Amino acid sequence: MSTLAFRPRPRSFENWPGHRLFVREPMRLDCGIDFGPFTIAYQTYGTLNAEGSNAILICHALTGDQYAADPHPITGKPGWWETMVGPGRVLDTERYFLICANVLGGCMGTTGPQDIDPATGEPWALSFPVITVRDMVRAQKRLIEHLGIESLFCAIGGSMGGMQVLQWAASYPQCVFSAVPIAAAARHSAQNIAFHEVGRQAIMADPDWCGGRYLSLGRKPARGLAVARMAAHITYLSETALHRKFGRNLQDRNAVTYGFDADFQVESYLRHQGSTFVDRFDANSYLYITRAMDYFDLAAEYGGSLHQAFSGTRSRFCVISFTSDWLFPTSESRQLVQALNAVAANVSFVEIATENGHDAFLLHEPELFETLRGFLAGCAEHRGLSR
């Protein structure tokens, strides 16, 4: 179609570390499309035991990826959950077999809108089907089956990762021995949808977005994506943390400049967050994945009552929220716990006091680590996992 000689493939994932599963059999998506074949890019850590009973699925958040515990191939930064995953750490690679897969629609190797649509030979862009959290989980189920795992010892994740955990527990209860949704909710709130819409509009307002066809045209909506990231980043922090970190401090100057340069440290910080983000993330992926989160409403899938989603569940749940998280506040977790109580599920619920806001699940939070350690140890005992 395009006559442009310059048609950059944005990434060369072929050289990136990790595994790839090519799924030939198409998969029916929530939007009604039979999608496939497609690729799932994933990482594993540790070893699957002979019984296949020690597998933990780590579900990543909106802008996360499969590199939970090794350096990011583009930025070179440590894995996003490196504090959690490793030998002797909470997700102990000497004890568990850990799997982390890039979500469907992502941009780190799993099929997403930047990949080539075999029908046209062009990047999918907006002709990529709209996917849901359930579709992401369906794809992960294919991966788990491929790995020969009948039942996960644990599904764990924060934010959108927590949504996937809940979807796993609802869709495949017999495959989830324990479920740990952290800083998550059973539905995306109006406020959260609103913030996502701001981000999407920022991307789509960028002239370089070109109706989504930027890759075919050799362009990149970097400014729009950066603004989307800046707006979203504010929602991941608490007001207290922002104030503590930056206050009204000025950036490399002694007085305001009476202009629109980044006078304040907080502006400089956000600009940095935005500009580094565009190096590693695809704008259309951002549109698709935020949409998947917006569409997430577990109760709606089960006739409007959340507890029906968990009816008869035998999974052990550990619901965790953070006091200063206003994006996925404790009240959302509490509703989830009430629904789990309504079916007398085995549930633990911990709210952790922190100033780190929604992002707390990514940071060094000793109480989070202790909680998870204890919960997983208890589950391992019930599962009969040897030390």
Partner 1 sequence: MPQALGLARVEAPSPTPTVSTDELRRDLRLIAEMIDPGARVLDIGCGDGALLAYLTRQKGVDGRGIELSQSGVNACVAHGLSVIQGDADRDLDAYPARAFDVVVLSQTLQATRAPRRVIEALVRIGRRAIVSFPNFGFWKIRLGLLLSGRMPISDLLPHPWYETPNIHLCTIRDFVALCDELEVRVERSLTLDRHGRPYALDPRGGLANLLAEQGVFVLSGRTSIRSET
Name the residues that contact partner 1, by CB under 8 A: 316, 318-319, 337-339, 341-344, 346-353, 367, 370-371, 373-375, 377-379, 381
* CB of 57 closer than 8 Å to CB of 102: no
Cross-strand pairs, 380: none
Q: Which is nearer to partner 1, 299 or 343 (CB)?
A: 343
Report how many helices (DSSP H) and strands (DSSP E) the chain contains, helices first: 11, 14
Q: Which is nearer to partner 1, 21 or 343 (CB)?
A: 343
30 is known as an active-site residue = no
Start-end of H helices in the chain: 133-146, 160-171, 190-205, 222-236, 239-246, 265-280, 283-295, 298-301, 306-309, 330-342, 366-383
* CB of 318 closer than 8 Å to CB of 350: yes
Q: How far is the CB of 310 from partner 1 (least distance, A)?
A: 12
Q: Which is nearer to partner 1, 123 or 162 (CB)?
A: 162
Following DSSP, what letter does each residue of 117-168 receive, concatenated?
ETTTTEE-GGGSPP--HHHHHHHHHHHHHHTT-SSBSEEEEETHHHHHHHHH
Q: How far is the CB of 50 from partner 1 (least distance, A)?
A: 25
Rounded to the nearest angstrom, the gap between the alpha carbon of residue 82 and the centroid of all alpha carbons in its chain is: 15
364 is known as an active-site residue = no
Q: How far is the CB of 349 from partner 1 (least distance, A)?
A: 4
Q: How far is the CB of 371 from partner 1 (least distance, A)?
A: 5
325 is known as an active-site residue = yes
Q: Which is nearer to partner 1, 16 or 369 (CB)?
A: 369
Q: Which is nearer to partner 1, 155 or 368 (CB)?
A: 368
Nearest Cα to Cα of residue 380 among 69, 60, 92, 101: 92
Catalytic pick from 159, 216, 321, 324?
A: 159
Q: How far is the CB of 314 from partner 1 (least distance, A)?
A: 11
Active site residues: 159, 325, 358
